[in-house]
A = this chain, B = another copy of it.
Amino acid sequence: MEKRSRLRYGMVGGSLGAFIGGVHRRAIALEETADLVAGCFSSQNEKNQKTGQFYGIGQDRIYKNYQEMAQKEKEREDGIDFVCIVTPNATHYEIAKAFLEAGIHVACEKPLCFTVEEGQELEQIAKEKKLCFAVTYTYTGYGMVKFAKELIEKGEIGQIVNVNAEYLQDWLIDEIGGGDQTTTKMSVWRTDPEKSGISNCVGDIGTHIEDTVAYMTGLHPKKVAAVLDCYGMDLDLNANILVEYENGVHGVYSCSQVCAGHLNGLVIRIFGSEGSIEWVQEDPNYLKVTRKGQPTQIYNRGTGCITGMAAKLNHIPSGHPEGLTYAFANIYHAFMQEVLDQINGETGDGQDYDYQDVSDGVMGVKFIHAVVESSQKGAAWVEV
C-alpha cells in the first residue's frame, strides 16, 4: 500500500466565529498537510450546517452529535485520521473518550477534563489503543520555548535553583466585587463552576504556567501552597502559589485575570546555578539568556544562533514576527507527524514527537486540584 502523505481530520465544536476552533483550523492550514472533511461544529443545527458547508464538507459528514460522528467515521474507509476537540471544557472528557473508543487519534484543547480520574481513564484508553492524544498547551509550541528547553537540557544554566513564573491578564477585572457588571458571554462561563469546574483562573491559565515550566525544565510540582482570591465571585480570579518540585527546589507561580495592563502576560523565568532564561509570551520571538558573569543575551528566532527543534520549526525569516497561530501549528506538526507515521506503519525510531500529550493533560488536572485544595486549607502544602 502506498504511504499516505496527507491526513483527514474532523472537528467537534468550532463553528464559524468561535475563537479557539478557528485558531486550530488555521494552525492546521499553516501546516498544509491535513484536510477538514468531517465535523460536528455546534449543537445548534443551523450553525453546524452553515459551518460545514462553508468548509465544503459533504452533507453526510456534517454530524448532529459527536457520538454519531465517532461511530460513522470509524466505519468509513476514508474516515478521519484524527479529531480536533474544541468544545467547552465540561465536555472534553466524554467526547475524547468516544473518539478514542472509535480508534481515532485525538487533539483536545486544554484543560483535558475536570477530574483526575477522567483524565487517567483517557490516558489508559489511549495507551491501550496506541492512539496519539495531543493536549494543545499552546505555549510549548513556540520555537523559543523549545530553544529554552534545549539550552536547559544542555546544562547551559547549570542546576535549576529557582523558578519564577507568572501569567497575568486583566480581562475579568470587572468581575471584582461580584460581577453585576458581568457583560461578556465568556466571562460568564469562565466564572461558573458548572462550566469551568473547580477553578477559573488556575484552570484556565495557571495550568499553562505549570505545563510550560514542566516542558522547559522537566520539573513537576511535588507539592503546592496556594492562596486563591475570588473577590466575591464563585471561582478564583487570582492566585499566588508556592511550589516545591520533585528535586526539592522551590518556585513561585502567579496567575491572575484582574491585573490591569496585562493582556496575556505569560512570563517564565528559570534560574540556574550557571545562568538564567527568560521568555515572555507577548514577545515570543526572543529569548533572554544570561550566563553567570556575562552580559545578558537576546536570542532571536530564525537567526543562526538558534539550533535544534526551534531551528527546524522556523517558518519565516528572523525579524518577521511569528505569532500564536504558528505556535499552534508547531504542536500540530509534531502530532500529525506521529499520526502519519503510525498510519504508515513507521516506527518513528528516535524521533521526538514534540507535543504535550494526554499525560501532560492529566498532570494539569492534578495541579488544579492540588492548588484549589491548598487554598481551601489556608495555603497548607498539598501533594500534587
Contact = CB atoms under 8 A, between A and B. Distances in A.
Interface in A269-311: 269, 271-276, 278, 281-285, 288-300, 302-305
A284 B227 contact: no
18 contacts: A29-B30, A161-B231, A162-B229, A162-B238, A164-B259, A174-B292, A240-B250, A240-B251, A242-B242, A260-B274, A261-B275, A262-B276, A263-B317, A282-B285, A283-B283, A295-B298, A296-B300, A378-B381
Interface in A75-104: none
Contact of A176 (B161, B173, B244, B323): B161
A254 to B, nearest CB: 6
A295 B304 contact: no
A319 interface: yes
Contacts of A296: 261, 297-298, 300
Interface of A: 19, 23, 25-26, 29-30, 32, 54-55, 157, 161-162, 164, 166, 168-171, 173-174, 176-177, 225, 227, 229, 231, 238, 240, 242, 244, 250-252, 254, 256, 258-265, 269, 271-276, 278, 281-285, 288-300, 302-305, 316-326, 378-379, 381
B260 A276 contact: yes
Given A161-B238, A173-B273, A254-B164, A299 B292 contact: no
Given A225-B379, A261-B276, A262-B319, 18 more contacts: A161-B258, A162-B259, A176-B273, A227-B250, A240-B251, A256-B271, A261-B278, A282-B285, A283-B283, A289-B295, A294-B305, A298-B298, A316-B324, A320-B323, A322-B323, A322-B325, A378-B381, A379-B379
B305 A293 contact: yes
